[in-house]
Amino acid sequence: MEEIVLQAKKREKIGKKVKALRREGGLPAIIYGGSINPIPITLDAHSAGRVLSGITSSHMIAVNVDGERLNVLVRERQREPILGSLLHVDFLAVSLTEKLRANVMVELVGDAPAVKDYSFILVSGVEALEVESLPQNLPERVTVDISNLKEIGDAIYVRDISLPSNVEVLTDLDEMVALVTAPAAEEKEEAEEEEAEYGEEGPELIERGKAEEEGEEF
């Protein structure tokens, strides 16, 4: 995993003064957790925004605060709703000798022959795995190869995923990650729901009957 180090300064501007800090190109953030008192900091908005947009919440990075290096995980990213630019970042300080729990994103990779060749439907299940390990051993993401899903009913469960021995999976091993199903079953279900809603005559006849009741002409 690539090491990332962000340069920061302790932040004096808080409250309404933070807006002025942003106008000056700064990104307000805070580091908390562990045995440290919360530390308000300022990052360079341009460089930090570029780096933080490409990492997951399980990717450990380092923040150098006025010469003091702290190992952290990204816990929350607040964004401007229209432009999507970062407004504030929360970092969790971690110890390299203490295990922690984290959610690691699941990424499906490859092509499922059942979908590619037969146009069946791939249903995805859990989007993240809860794991426990030392911070430096946390995987950035869990990649799951779906190229062995060849027939209807083929599935991948959490128990089928291999992770390093120093990473313990806490998610239920019977949770489904990916499953191949037939589109016909879905279409049949939609038809049954529509029939239940409108009856055997269907929506058109019901609307016509309603219009006739109200004296409308066709």
pLDDT digits (tens, 9 = 90+) for 165-189: 999 999 999 999 999 999 864 455 5
65-84 confidence digits (pLDDT tens): 999 999 999 999 999 999 88
How many C-beta atoms surround the C-beta of residue 122 within 10 A? 17
Beta bridge partners of 70: 63
| pLDDT exceeds 60 at position 209 | no
Q: Kindly report which listed range (85-89, 115-119, 175-179, 195-199) carries the lowest average pLDDT score.
A: 195-199
Q: Which pair of structure tokens corresponds to residue 96?
A: 């390299």
Q: Does the pLDDT of residue 203 top 60, yes or no? A: no
Q: What is the pLDDT of residue 13?
A: 74
| pLDDT band, very low/low/confident/very high, at 15 (cuts 50, 70, 90) | confident
Alpha carbon distance 35, 15 (integer Å): 25
- pLDDT of 205 over the 60 cut: no
pLDDT of the residue at 47: 94
Q: Where in the chain is the domain with CATH 2.170.120.20?
A: 101-181
pLDDT of residue 141: 95
Residue range(s) of every CATH 2.40.240.10 domain in the chain: 5-94
Check whether domain 101-181 has CATH 2.170.120.20, yes or no: yes
The rounded percent of the chain whose pLDDT value lies above 90 is 74
Superfamily of domain 5-94: Ribosomal Protein L25; Chain P (2.40.240.10)
Report the alpha-carbon distance of residue 85 to residue 83 in Å, rounded.
6
Pure H helices in the chain:
18-23, 45-52, 113-116, 183-198, 202-213
pTM summary value: 0.77
> What does the block give as tokens for 101?
């729990």
